Structure 1
Amino acid sequence: MFPRKELRIRVMSRLYRVVMALLLLAEVSSFGEETSNPGIVARITREGLEYAHRHGVATLKNERSNIKLPDFSGLFSFSWLGEVSYDFHSLKIHHFVVQHSELELLPQRGVGAFLFNDYVSLSGMWKVKKAFMSLAGSFDLSVDGIIMSVSLNLGKDHFGRPTASVGHCSSSIGRVSIDISGNLSWMLNLFQERIEKNLKNMLEQKICNVVRKAVTSRLQPYLQTLPVTWMIDEVAGIDYRLVGAPLVSSQSLDMLFKGEFFNRRQRSPIPFEAPAIMLPQKHDRMIYFAVSEYVFNTASWVYCQNKRMNFIIRNEHLMNLTKLSNHQSAKKWRKQHSNPSCLSQANAPLTTTLSCFSNSFLLLLLQFPLNSPMSLHTSSFRVLIPKLARLYPNMEMELEVSPESAPFLILTPGNVTIMAVVDIQAFALLPKSSDRMPLFQLRGRTNISITIDVSSSRIFGSMTTGSTLKLELKQSNVGVFNVQLMETIFNYYAQHTIYPSLNAKLEEGFPLPLPRDIYLNSLVLQIHKNFLLFGANID
């Protein structure tokens, strides 16, 4: 039975490995502080709890041969010989039967583990000593009617990591039976009843000590593997601290994580709050993750603050676009947008005519080499901005593109969108100087559609244009001009340069707060107001 307890503890450790904080439930009183809304909620359902239970029992049975059981010893007295010490050692488990076991959620308290009427049989060696006399032999031991009840509480340390402790533990043993063999085994058999009683009392007293020791030495260190922060790159990391008490009901356990990106160079408060997350009550998976739009928007804010969303368009970028003119994608674009007869449509609406001109202008950009008049050069914009070439003749230009503010992701049922507003500032590069002259500033607006997906351990995505980029003139040092003719240029550049660059980052994704050796499968994804919800089963 003593071994049984040791086994029980290994199960506890395995169970938490299997279901990320599953075995340890916190009492709400463990968390007294006021907390903000979480960015991520991890929910363990009853299906997940049942999986942990099955896995734990199977682990207990499969690993019985690997469990090292403690030795036990005692004293007995002969009237004519005096006190004789005995020692039972080299114990091995041969048979282990779990008649009934339960792992259940205790609302507002924690997680309970219960074992009833279990049976363990084992064998080992015995030795008795008296003065200079020493005798040895073997024995078989059976322990049945084992009953044990353990509840675990979960707290958090000042780093925001989970902590585990035993809130309650009780155990009892129905019967201990020992069969002793070997030289002079009759001497021990005379005291069999007393030895069995001593073993029973000792096991009942020490089982809970073994449980507490295992929680402290095995389970608690494993909990420390749950990530509190995760460094994404040289700019940003993610804060995965616990922000509130686990919410325990009869159907589920919710763990609340901050889920906030932060600036690695200089951490500062995020200037907006996370919205509340209302998880649906219907479940068909073992574990769920609710990821608030707050998580993505803190990432946008951090990268925007670090100017990682800023782009500079120079002549060499147009050279890359020129190379694309011979590429299949550029040919396809040219076929879709080229309309040789559009200039002859005298009665065409003004918007159609402007679109035709802008498409034709981009086609010229794609067809001329960099050293031709059609490049990012003041002379190339002569038709669009006549005053520009007169004020700054034969000068190269560059365009700075930056978000007007951090673009925020908006989650509505079934949809993920971003409304992006960017500033486009044009400069003339003065010859033989590092100075730049500001020419004009545009504001661009577009809707971006986001596709979100999940793998066994990460969230990732990709973006596509939900609408074309629309430009308006904010300020000009080179006179008023029609910006619609420039929209196609920027749309093409965004589609072939900016979006691929951002998608490369999105495809890397960011990790989920999972303990070591936990992998997810059978994933399902739903988009709710303010949060993504995906469910999974556990390998």
Structure 2
Amino acid sequence: MLLCFWLFLIPPILCTDPGVKVRLTEKGLEYGRQLGVASIQQRLKTIKIPDISGKESVPPIGKVEYSLTNMQIFNVGLPTTAVDLVPGVGIRQSISKASISLNGNWRVKYLRIIRDSGSFQLNVNDLAVTSSIAIRSDNTGRPEVSSVKCEATVGSATIKFHGGGSWLYNLFKNFIDKALRSQMQKQICPLVADAVSDLNPHLKTLNVIAKVDQYAEIEYSMVSSPRVSKSYLDFSLKGEFYNIGKHEEPPFPPEAFLLPPQVNNMMYIGVSSFTANSAAFVYNKAGVISLYVTDDMIPQSSPLRLNTETFGKFIPQIAKTFPGLMMKLLVKTVKNPVITFLPNNATVQASGTVTAYAIQRNATLTPLFIIKLETSVSAKVFVRDTRLAGAVTLNKMNLTLGTSYVGDFQIRFLDSIFQMVLKVVVIPKLNAQLGKGYPLPALGQMKLVNTVLLVLKDYTLIGTDVQFTG
């Protein structure tokens, strides 16, 4: 729940720039406040007031023995609650003008032999609570919260006795009123602390290590203390991809970026180009940015086929040396693709090779040539559920001959074939993977609504409201 972000006093964890930033706005804090009121209200209803008994001198009767028993709270009202951001300090949560109503039984004995009993109702008004919440990282890298400061005051109260000689109680109700309010006041801050601790199970659902697929995972641990301003709270997260089971740092560091002032949504997530490029590094390291292209992947309607007959029209020696054979292409990257974010523009530069093989009748592969391939693609980035996804389209392609096993030939004649292979096979396969997306930082059953996305310089900004469904 967004209450989990009512946090401060986080000790520094790492001295590094984040790959991902999360900003909680005043609108988000307001949603958290609404969720928090229900939690605190339920906790205050659990106040247990022990039986109270004693003796008081009541003129002209003399000593009166009394007891109050079976006291139960039946209503808690929290009409005024607030959450304030204190720049450079943290968050202050306050409750004012609250009320608590309880009922119970009374019993008296006076003049040694006279006994009487009845019921009573106590209404406490002007109850006020001010509390602060601290957070520290647990041993899994997730945040853990606790109440570090709490002040509670119980204001005015009215008590009404019913039944029997209740007029007796009215003679010394001020004493009873004070005793009941004292019992309440002792328990309020511990219960508020319990309400804060109730957040920790929710915090443990934070996907600090989020699995993407069988090759990669992304880490969202905090790298520094949150930044508190007058109108928002910023969290700095690592936001780095790793190969599963092997955390190797990429050969480039994250670079600092600043989120712009935005207030329309509850939460903003900034995903830097570092995060995207760490993904490219991981998948290239895993050797999975490669694809074998065979003729059955080419649309039947295409006149260009992956066989020595088609290629022989451009490179005659292929048709002459390997007549009537099918072909296979291996497309793979030779270095890490580079993702760049500019305003309203996301591009990917990739360097790779295409190795062409003739498929012999005994299924062995004979290399024909290796083409060096430089491509630029435009990327569309979007949010799907709680995942950041994408799709690419080809901008331009440049071919140069790397190695030929069939003699010299003019590479430009192959442009149309490789344009077709990229557009109808490689890019659709890539988009199928990109469309699955990778998980954004999230808590439990968190749902993103009213989401907007902007591509800015060096990062992508996601603005969203949040709902918790569980």
TM-score range for the pair, normalised by the shorter chain length:
0.7 to 0.9
Tell me the residue number matched to 1:246. Answer: 226
Tell me the residue number matched to 2:150. Answer: 169
Tell me the residue number matched to 2:25. Answer: 45
Tell me the residue number matched to 2:99. Answer: 120
- Determine which of 108, 116, 120 is the counterpart of 2:88: 108
Tell me the residue number matched to 2:458. Answer: 530
Q: Deviations over 1:316-366 (max 9, x none)?
A: 334xx2x234xxxxxxxxxxxxxxxxxxxxxxxxxxxxxxxxxxxxx3x2x
Amino acid at match of 2:425: T
Contact persistence 1:525–1:532 (CA under 8 A):
yes
Aligned pairs for 1:300-449 (under 5 A) are 300-318=280-298, 321=299, 323-325=300-302, 363=303, 365=304, 375-392=305-322, 394-432=324-362, 435-449=364-378
Contact persistence 2:107–2:118 (CA under 8 A):
no
Aligned pairs for 1:59-74 (under 5 A) are 59=38, 67-74=45-52
Q: Deviations over 1:86-110 (max 9, x none)?
A: 32433201x6252x43310122222
Tell me the residue number matched to 1:371. Answer: none
Tell me the residue number matched to 1:214. Answer: 195
Give the 3 Å change call, closer, same or farther, for CA 524–135 of structure 1 in structure 2.
farther
Amino acid at match of 1:141: L
Contact persistence 2:43–2:191 (CA under 8 A):
no
- Determine which of 4, 12, 21 is the counterpart of 2:4: 21
Shift of 1:531: 0.2
Moved more, 417-426 or 174-183: 174-183
Aligned pairs for 1:120-199 (under 5 A) are 120-126=99-105, 137-183=118-164, 185=166, 188-189=169-170, 191-199=172-180
- Determine which of 474, 494, 512 is the counterpart of 2:402: 474
Distance 1:66 1:168 in 2: 17
Distance 1:152 1:146 in 2: 20
Amino acid at match of 1:448: V
Distance 1:68 1:203 in 2: 11
Q: 1 or 2, which has the higher helix percentage?
A: 1
Give the 3 Å change call, closer, same or farther, for CA 381–534 of structure 1 in structure 2.
closer
Contact persistence 1:125–1:136 (CA under 8 A):
no
Shift of 1:69: 4.1
Shift of 1:266: 3.3
Local SS of the residue matching 1:498: helix
Q: Unaligned stretches of 5+ in structure 2?
A: none
Contact persistence 2:66–2:106 (CA under 8 A):
no
Query: Sequence identity of aligned pairs in percent?
Result: 29
Give the 3 Å change call, closer, same or farther, for CA 385–31 of structure 1 in structure 2.
same
Contact persistence 2:293–2:425 (CA under 8 A):
no
- Determine which of 494, 500, 503 is the counterpart of 2:431: 503
Tell me the residue number matched to 1:9. Answer: none
Q: Deviations over 1:128-164 (max 9, x none)?
A: 599xx99864321111222221111122123221111
Give the 3 Å change call, closer, same or farther, for CA 527–136 of structure 1 in structure 2.
farther
Local SS of the residue matching 2:367: strand
Local SS of the residue matching 1:208: helix
Moved more, 477-486 or 384-393: 384-393
Distance 2:94 2:312 in 1: 83
Contact persistence 2:218–2:241 (CA under 8 A):
yes
Q: TM-score w.r.t. structure 1 length?
A: 0.77
Contact persistence 2:3–2:32 (CA under 8 A):
no
Q: 1 or 2, which has the higher strand percentage?
A: 2
Tell me the residue number matched to 1:335. Answer: none
Tell me the residue number matched to 1:372. Answer: none
Give the 3 Å change call, closer, same or farther, for CA 165–265 of structure 1 in structure 2.
closer
Amino acid at match of 1:76: G
Distance 1:33 1:521 in 2: 31
Distance 1:264 1:65 in 2: 42
Contact persistence 2:147–2:196 (CA under 8 A):
yes
Moved more, 238-247 or 30-39: 30-39
Give the 3 Å change call, closer, same or farther, for CA 526–379 of structure 1 in structure 2.
closer
Distance 1:144 1:39 in 2: 49
Give the 3 Å change call, closer, same or farther, for CA 142–435 of structure 1 in structure 2.
same
Shift of 1:461: 1.8
Amino acid at match of 1:413: P
Distance 1:495 1:380 in 2: 18
How many pairs are equivalent?
459
Moved more, 485-494 or 259-268: 259-268
